[in-house]
Amino acid sequence: MLSLVDLRTRIEAGTLTPEGAVRLVEERIAEREPGVGALAARDPAPAVPADGALAGIAVGIKDIIDTAHLPTQMGSPLYADWRPKADAAIVSRLKSLGAVPLAKTTTSPFASLDPTATRNPRAPGRTPGGSSAGSAAAVAAGMLPLALGTQTGGSVIRPASFCGVGAIKPSFRLLPMVGVKTFSWALDTLGLFGAGVRDVAHALALVADRPAIDLGASEAGTPRIGLVRQDFAGAAEPEAEAALDRAVRAAERAGARLREIALPEPLPGAWARHGIIQDFEARQALAWEYAAHRAALSEKLGGQLDRAQAITAAAYDDARRHAHRARRVLKDLFGEIDVLLTYAAPGPAPEGHGSTGDPRFNKLWTLMGVPCVNLPVPGEGPPVGVQLIARFGDDGRALAAARMIERGLAEI
């Protein structure tokens, strides 16, 4: 995989130019893209700024995020060749740092549950996950050093786990959602994919204009880690359990203090109501597509929106109240621990391409708005990751704990 930090180190040392870094990416794309299918569109003649903290870094942009120089097709034929007049705020920020938004990456239609045609480069014959399939797969294939995704349920952390790459879903609204197609305004969150934790920490600090995130991610100290198995979400597969156990050993080896925690109510109750909030808002966010083009929607998305028509405002308000109470309880829980460690996905990526996988171990944390990091865990077989979670606004701490465990994993 291409490391953002390594590329920038070479550029700053004068052994690689920004133009050379982008050419390297283009060569990798020419070699790997035919077998992966991670890109929905690509700039054939990108302008490469000579200066900036991300000069020379080519970025993949999930195809629900507006770009003025490339079409934004939402993964749907309804928006074939549609060209916005302006960049999304996050794309403008990347450009201001010298980054090159080189390609649009594939997405499930409107960031829903439908699988794409993208293939998993680290687990042939298995799904890359979704809805940010193209972003995860492009980074895993070594075609891009940085890619943007979004998460409403588990669409950043889950595909990162399936494809064996680093990723962060930051604290809710840390990154601007202006110019990103909405599925659920209470849940949708931009996320970053990179070769490892170091890369996503560096990128997030720059993109969010918060240097402390990267500085904090470099030193974890001796964190108090709560081990959470989320029993209310169902059992994990043996591979996920093995990855979690290995991460625990690495954390203990690094000096962390661990204890197992059972999440109290109303957290399990909030988890059970995530779908009510998501779908009640989705039926409004996609009201035009549903009213004018229901027959053109996929079977999964169309059926999801059909069922959403029956959700009452009272049920939605009740779900929001549960979520609010759960956030207060989680805040208190973080007074006793520094980070939570849990599964990133139920197991390795499912075989075939009929599903993007199950987000059941992700959706509570998306609803809570807290930062989540996927840490790949080396092992035999298809990739499996673990998930590190910190209190709202403490993204650097989640990244620091992930880096600490990442170093520990290299020693066992």
**Marked catalytic residue, from 76, 108, 112, 131:** 131
- Looking at the DSSP bridge assignments, the partners of residue 58 are 100
Buried b (16+ CB within 10 A) or exposed e, 303-337: ebbeebeebeeeebeebbebbeebbeebeebbeeb
CA distances from 82 to 93, 128, 131, 188, 229 (A): 22, 26, 20, 22, 43
- Is 62 one of the catalytic residues? yes
**Marked catalytic residue, from 3, 155, 171, 184:** 155
Can you read off the two tokens belonging to residue 242? Answer: 């093995």
Contacts of 55 (CB under 8 A, 6+ apart): 11, 18, 48, 49, 97, 98, 99
**Marked catalytic residue, from 3, 62, 104, 169:** 62
The span from the CA of 152 to the CA of 169, in Å, is 10
The span from the CA of 200 to the CA of 400, in Å, is 11
Distance of CA 318 to the CA centre of its chain: 28
CA distances from 409 to 28, 319, 378 (A): 28, 39, 8
- Is 108 one of the catalytic residues? no
Closest CA to 334 of 403, 406, 388, 377: 388
The span from the CA of 1 to the CA of 400, in Å, is 21
Q: Supply the residues annotated as catalytic.
A: 62, 131, 155
